[in-house]
Structure 1
Amino acid sequence: MLSALVCGALVFPGLFCSSRKVLKSTFTQWSDADVVCVSERLVSAIHASLATAAGVTVMTSCRDVMADSHWLVNAFVLFGVPYMVFDIYAMYLSHYHTQKLKGHSSSYSGHSLQTVKAFLIKDSMLVLHHMALLLIFMPITLFFRRGLGDFFIGCLFTTEFSTPFVSIGKILIQLGLDNTRLHRINGIIVLLSFFTCRILLFPFMYWMYGRQFGIPLHRVVFHLPLQCNVGNLVLLAPQIYWFILLLRKANRLYLRQRKGPARKD
């Protein structure tokens, strides 16, 4: 399994560096902030697509939701560990260059503890999410499950299904296509995929567990250990928070487009 870890450590930084070089030479008018932001989103979309494919493979291969195992679970977790570490760094670079472009030259003349602190404050939820995956989800998956529940780990992999569409939306904005029909359609897909794969997924997992053991859905929660229910609640809470933010953003975009461009007298 060490090979999966090494592979991840080579693939994701390599994709990021390659993307930066290609974008910088292709879009010569773009700033460093533009290049870093789009590169980070492209790598994020690739990782999310791989995670979703791995999740679907595991889910469709496990007939017994508790006992069946699949080699891809541990392999992909190890493959994804370097991505989580790298993505924190890539998000910091994107934040740094964006703030520098906005004219904060005194604070962002170079990398410092101050710039790192500003990034951690601004993107605290995302950083906390990545750290939780590294420090909690990864050890539980690899060492404390006793080989049980691969189906549910596969389900959690598929929560990344909405991420490529989120990335596409940000890239379309970067390309100046935020007022196009393509961007609106992508926004609808973001909302539907996020709600389905990051919120409805949790009652689906409870339903599958109940179906396996003949327990009604509303009684499943009482048949699971407390730590399982608490863990699911901890995972679900930020998804609801982010979904609310997406709804607010979609509403602002709708109101702005409905209002239309300001008329000149």
Structure 2
Amino acid sequence: MWRTLGLASAFFPGLFALCTRALRWAAPAWSSRDRVLLSGRVVSTVQATMATVSGLTVVLSCGDVVRDRHWLAVEYIWVLVPYMTYDIYVMYLCHWHKSQEKGVAEKKHSLASVRSFLLQERLMVTHHLFILIVLTPVAQHFRGELGDFFVGCIFTAELSTPFVSLGKILMQLKMQHTLLHKVNGILILVTFFLCRILLFPFMYAAYARQAGIPLYLVPFRIPLHCNIANASLLAPQLYWFGLICRKAARLYGRSPADKSS
């Protein structure tokens, strides 16, 4: 536990610092904002890839979805804790740099800039804090030695993140009108829907098959806190999926005349 926490606490900020330093050398004309944004997205992609691989490993290793164990289901939680803490800070940095460019932020960091960040990014910050304060104790202690399969499933929700990050990077590089951006947009929709929306019915169906009961009975057979945790995770995903669909409608629904203008 402590070794994993220490390594992850050094790895993510270290990778972020390495990326910003490399961009300062490779793209000296870029602003600090551009370097921070791109570096944050690179680190996010690395973490998402690690989480997805860990999750798939756990899911494919657990034949019994309730009782089978895999060490990654426990150990990777201690990677997520420092990452989520780091990510909140990087989100704040991104917000501050964007505000600087718009001329609505003070030159130095202040309580006002923190308050502005918390107001604008309240949903994402709440999501991160929920994982840190609620889901981490549940996953590490309160569930006992049951449910590694479902923890692995939650890890795989990160599959869509690399495509989301790539889409933002392409927009940052002014490549939002390319074929790559359009194909990536489709991949965002598909992976987000599969791994962040259908993931929850899939987990309930896996339990129903294991227990030999109809799917509709699963919410009444599992502990209440499991239903509450799943609902709390699913709700923001539905909101974000709605935003993604609206963006996709604007991207793919424009006429050729609109796109050329």
Count of aligned pairs between the two proteins:
260
Corresponding letter in the other structure for 2:158: E
* 8 A contact 1:33–1:97 mirrored in 2: yes
Corresponding residue for 2:202? 204
Distance 1:200 1:180 in 2: 29
Q: Runs of 5+ in structure 2 lacking a partner?
A: none
Corresponding letter in the other structure for 2:244: L
Corresponding residue for 1:260? 259
Residue 108 of structure 1 aligns to a residue whose secondary structure is coil
* 8 A contact 1:68–1:148 mirrored in 2: yes
Distance 1:208 1:68 in 2: 13
Distance 2:24 2:97 in 1: 14
**CA positional deviation for 1:257:** 5.8
- How far does the alpha carbon of each residue in 1:194-246 deviate from its partner, in whole angstroms, 9 at most, with x for none? 00000000000000001101112122222222222122111111100000011
- How far does the alpha carbon of each residue in 1:101-156 deviate from its partner, in whole angstroms, 9 at most, with x for none? 1223xx32110000011111111111111100100011111111111100000000
Corresponding letter in the other structure for 2:225: Q
Structure 1 stretch 10-19 or stretch 136-145: which is displaced more? 136-145
Instruction: Report whether the alignment pairs 1:39 with 2:39.
Output: yes
* 8 A contact 2:193–2:241 mirrored in 1: yes
CA RMSD, Structure 1 to Structure 2 (Å): 1.1
* 8 A contact 2:135–2:229 mirrored in 1: no
Distance 1:227 1:144 in 2: 10
Instruction: Report whether the alignment pairs 1:173 with 2:144.
Output: no
**CA positional deviation for 1:251:** 1.4
1:207-226 correspondence runs (5 A): 207-226=205-224
* 8 A contact 1:155–1:205 mirrored in 2: yes
Residue 76 of structure 2 aligns to a residue whose secondary structure is helix
Instruction: Report whether the alignment pairs 1:80 with 2:80.
Output: yes
Distance 1:222 1:140 in 2: 19
Q: Runs of 5+ in structure 1 lacking a partner?
A: none
* 8 A contact 2:54–2:76 mirrored in 1: yes
Distance 1:257 1:60 in 2: 44
Distance 1:249 1:154 in 2: 30
User: Which of 192, 195, 200 is residue 194 of structure 1 equivalent to?
Assistant: 192
1:1-265 correspondence runs (5 A): 1-104=1-104, 107-256=105-254, 258=256, 259-262=258-261
* 8 A contact 1:6–1:79 mirrored in 2: no
Evaluate the alpha carbon distance shift between residue 135 and residue 257 of structure 1 in structure 2; reply closer, same or farther with a 3 A threshold. Answer: farther
**Taking structure 1 as the reference length, what is the TM-score of the superposition?**
0.95
**CA positional deviation for 1:23:** 1.1
Corresponding letter in the other structure for 1:102: K
Structure 1 stretch 210-219 or stretch 191-200: which is displaced more? 210-219
- How far does the alpha carbon of each residue in 1:50-90 deviate from its partner, in whole angstroms, 9 at most, with x for none? 00000000011111111111111111100121110000000
- How far does the alpha carbon of each residue in 1:157-178 deviate from its partner, in whole angstroms, 9 at most, with x for none? 0000000100000011111111
**Taking structure 2 as the reference length, what is the TM-score of the superposition?**
0.97
